[in-house]
Structure 1
Amino acid sequence: MSALHEAALAAAQAADIEPELLQLIRIRASQINGCSLSLDQHTRGARAMGDSEERIREVRVWRTSKLFSPRERAALSLTEAITLVFAGQVPNAVYTEAASLFAETQLAALIWAATVINAHNRIAVTTRLEGSGAPPTAAARRG
């Protein structure tokens, strides 16, 4: 998973995707997936990059918040659609909007980043890893 993350990060850097935008993607997918480990890690990362507490809090309600740019909104919408892909395909309107605001390499990097955080979330949620980063107890693993 570390190698997958590093490859996605390198693709995002090569495509000039802002690190702050990657954190928003990771936060939103982690919220949807209920992954406290990743949510803790990436909200701390967003703060360290200078993102405001207000913006971090409002990622959950980005659709009604005035704090996000059109590019951020498109990336968050695409992230939600990728995260919830079990409900159906990524809607054409979501993909088209993102494609209109990001170059092809950037769009590919966003898809890659959303896919990787979803994989991380699924492993962390399955193994009961929590925000403190402590491994789960045997009782927690049994559910």
Structure 2
Amino acid sequence: MSVATIATRIEIKNVTPDVSSAMSALHEAALAAARAADIEPELLQLIKIRASQINGCSLSLDQNTQDARAMGESEQRIREVRAWRNSKLFTYRERAALSLTEAITLVFAGQVPNEVYAEAERLFEETQLAALIWAATVINAHNRIAITTRLEGSGAPPKAAFR
């Protein structure tokens, strides 16, 4: 069996630098909102990992698991993010954030369920909830750009791709 080469498509940052800069600014603004709301950086990494798993974005998944490890996240928790519902390793807050992330990522399958939103709203302050929604939205946008332009197979250095 041969491994297919995944060719990079458009170099979107070079073709549309203004939009790419705006996306980077949105990413930075979402991170700043999360910091201001006292969202744990480790929780943001779990959100990024889970959305990237669902979307099948290997580049973002690789980068975000590396970042999680650098923050001290355990290999076991990183592995179990995919099965967080069946794992005892995640707190109620993490579970609520992961559930909300999944609902946002899979929004095409239906609306974000009221019970998912209500649980997140119960466990997070308003500014934190807003930051979580932005974090999940931004990583999904990054995933979609990377997948569409096939950045995930390019071997590009981490800073060259959207995250």
> What's the TM-score once normalised by structure 2's chain length?
0.81
User: What's 1:130 paired with?
Assistant: 152
Gap runs ≥5 in structure 2: 1-22, 158-163
Choose 1 or 2 for highest CA Rg.
2
Pairwise CA RMSD:
1.2
Provide the rounded CA distance (Å) in 1 between the counterparts of 2:69 and 2:75.
Answer: 7
- Deviation, 1:132, is 6.1
Give 1:79's aligned amino acid. Answer: T
Alignment pair present for 1:68 and 2:103: no
Q: Of 90, 94, 108, which aligns to 2:116?
A: 94
Q: Of 40, 49, 66, which aligns to 2:62?
A: 40
Distance 1:83 1:61, change over 3 A: same
> What's the TM-score once normalised by structure 1's chain length?
0.92
Q: Of 95, 99, 107, which aligns to 1:77?
A: 99
CA shift digits 1:54-113 (9 cap, x unpaired): 000000000000000000000000000000001111000000000000000000000000
Contact 1:39 / 1:131 at 8 angstroms: preserved in 2?
Answer: no
Alignment pair present for 1:3 and 2:3: no
Q: Of 25, 39, 43, which aligns to 1:17?
A: 39
Query: Equivalent pairs: percent with the same residue?
Result: 87
Distance 1:95 1:62, change over 3 A: same
Give 1:54's aligned amino acid. Answer: Q
Distance 1:131 1:98, change over 3 A: farther
- Deviation, 1:133, is 3.8
- Deviation, 1:131, is 5.8
Gap runs ≥5 in structure 1: 136-143
